[in-house]
Amino acid sequence: MKKRTLVSAILGSTLFSGQGQAIEFDGFLTAGLAVHDQDNATYLDGITKDISFDNDSKFGLQITSDISGDMKAVAQLLAAGSDDNYAMDVEWAYLDYALSDNFSLRGGKVKQPVFLISDYFEVGYAYPWIRPPQEVYRNNPINTIVGMEALYQINFSNMSITLQPYLGSNSEAVPGTGGAVTFNAENFVGMAFMANTRSFTFQMSYMQTDVETVSQTVPTAVADGNANLASIGLSWDINNFVGYTEYVTRDITDGAVNSMEMLFPDQDAYYLTLGYRMGKYLPHITVASSESAPSTNPGANPGVNQDSITLGLRYELNDSAALKMEYQQIDPITGESGLFAGAVTDNKANMLSVAIDVIF
């Protein structure tokens, strides 16, 4: 299975068509369970010692409508088990206007091209893991912006080069606060560079934004500052050898109100995934690590400090469905909990996950 964007990965069906117009529906679904061996800790959005079906289960629908020969509207609806019992959200919604064969503009709610799989992060079928390595992918609390982006693409022989600048703003609930604190980002400016062939994808990205956190119970700024995030990644699929690797660094500068590092410290993280395809089977191993800068402020968020090793197996059930199984050992740095909420016994946790990913 070669990685693909959502539009090319999902076989869409045109349900309505008229003169110069077509509406296409593409969908994806993940049904998963996860459990770990910690009595008094919760991982991510709700994985506990009891078998949970909420964290990884989701349903998505992408709607694409041709407005004219050079313009289309695109929206993605997402219902996740970890989000208020499958409350439906508009993940993105934008107009795409092609000025030429190589250059287009998008306006509305668009996805940030921060990581290798940002465009299809929710489509589990498009990558080998049950969940992308969280040490890296939890570093950006906002994955979409309300604004605009440009796409410029040129081809050299068998290579495609894409430049993707963007700007905008957005807000999201701060993870771990139960929605009591909102993370607001203004003056978002970013750029992504991607080189792509049939065998590999290389991406670099950089973005910066003015940020503040706001309490929903007392509507005043809790902290403000400036955030910068840079990432570099490479994936390949050559002679049945499959690999992914990414590195991300996040830098927070304090503003005039309070220290932003109380919630978002500086952070560095990476992962490396190696796999080998054997017919319908793809066994793989992932090593990942995340480390935050030490804080001098008492009570500051220590950030995510943990290492993990994941052994996984993907099995192609058919052309549109895959069964995945993973065993993960997570080692938070001594005295901290990493991505766990609660105490981790002996600073080591073991987790088992199973999922079925489908596109339709």
Report pLDDT digits (tens) over 56-93: 999 999 999 999 889 999 999 999 988 777 889 999 99
What is this structure's pTM? 0.90
CA-wise closest residue to 92 among 133, 68, 64: 64
> At 2, is the pLDDT very low, low, confident or very high (cuts 50, 70, 90)?
very low
Q: Is residue 165 part of a domain?
A: yes
**Does residue 1 sit within a domain?**
no
3-state helix, strand, coil in the chain (%, to 5): 5, 60, 35
The residue among 210, 216, 203 whose CA lies nearest residue 186 is: 210
Are the beta carbons of 354 and 327 closer than 8 angstroms? no
Question: Has residue 329 been placed in a domain?
Answer: yes
Has residue 5 got a pLDDT over 50?
A: no
Average pLDDT, the chain: 88
CATH number at residue 35: 2.40.160.10
Between CA 315 and CA 324 the distance in angstroms is 6
Q: Is the pLDDT of residue 330 over 90?
A: yes
The answer to whether residue 256 is domain-embedded is: yes
Residue 340 CB neighbours (<10 A): 21
Residue 255 or 324, more confident: 324
Q: How many domains does the chain have?
A: 1
Structure tokens given for 198: 């049939």
| Ramachandran category for residue 80: left, alpha or beta (phi over 0 → left; psi -120 to 50 → alpha) | beta
Residue 87 forms part of a structural domain: yes
pLDDT of residue 14: 37
**Is residue 336 situated within a structural domain?**
yes
pLDDT digits (tens, 9 = 90+) for 80-137: 988 777 889 999 999 999 999 999 999 999 999 999 999 999 999 999 999 999 999 9
The token duo for 245 is 């690797």
Burial 109-132 (b: 16+ CB within 10 A, else e): bbbbbbbbbbbbbbbbbbbbbbbb
* Host domain of residue 205: 6-359
Flag whether 317 is in a domain.
Answer: yes
- 338 assigned to some structural domain: yes
Inter-residue contact 324 to 357 (CB < 8 Å): yes
Residue 19: is its pLDDT beyond 60? no
